[in-house]
Amino acid sequence: MSRVRTITLALAGTAAMLTTAVAQDVQTPDSSTWYRLVTMYNGSDARSGRCIQYFPEGSAHSGMVWSAEIVDATDPAYDYQFWKFVPSPDDSSVYAIVCKAAPDGYLSNVPTAFSADGRWDYVAVAESDAPADKYGFGLGGLRAGVDSETGEAYSDIFTDIDEEDLYRYVNCAGADQDYAINVSRATVAYDTNEWVFRFSPRLPVSGIGNVVVDAGSGETAPTEIYDLYGRKVSTPGHGIYIVDGRKVVY
């Protein structure tokens, strides 16, 4: 049975009221869990199995999210592929989407364009606790449920409506858009599911192969430690770092 949900989104100082029929109850993401968002695209091109990844300033898709092939925990891009859904303090069904590699930031809910050429920017460091474009993503506007094979929840991810009252969805585009994470409207062909994402929880990275664990425990302390942004750090916290040219888990 469908249910109707009304969401209030704050956008540039104004409020947009969204009412959407949900085919199935949305499985609420655990706000303490990091998820890899894997497209459920069921066609035949290279979108299949790709996930949403944040590309920081100076990288291939500077400051944006883009689709990418899944990497393992030994890859420097690993934490750039994991996301947390933080509910708004004013409405628990509206979320900020935060990347594990830059947890002080958030995915802007205002796309660069209201068309297929639109992209989604990541604000690496929030300027305040609740900027206007921080909390503004809804789940399950058209499709949500639980994957029968994996047991993982899946959902579409959408934001405010456009001038024709059609929702804007986070979408995995095809080759003509270089497999960008772009903007899709409710007129998209639903049978390919490129706008639906499976929420795959992040597994602990302890015990993974090909990575040195706790490089600081030896007799000689490492001389150079960098985070995955390439910034030199003196006191690393928990995570993966580049230490004297090697990937290391602390």
Domain ranges of the chain: 3-201, 212-249
What's the CA gap between 50 and 46, in Å, rounded?
A: 8
Phi-psi label, residue 151: left if phi above 0, alpha if psi -120 to 50, beta otherwise: left
- Token pair 């890899």 is at which residue? 36
Can you give the pLDDT at residue 222? 52
| CATH 3.40.50.460 correct for 3-201 | no
Q: Are 80 and 54 in contact (CB under 8 A)?
A: yes
Can you give the pLDDT at residue 249? 76
Consecutive sets of 10 residues in the chain, 250 residues long: mean pLDDT of each? Answer: 34 35 69 96 93 95 97 93 96 95 95 92 88 93 86 92 79 96 84 93 61 48 62 72 70
Provide the token pair at 114: 């209201």
Can you give the pLDDT at residue 223? 62
Could you write out the DSSP letters of every residue in 93-148?
TSEEEEETTSTT-EE-SS-SSSSTT-B-BEESS-SSSS-TTTS-BEEEEEEEEE-T
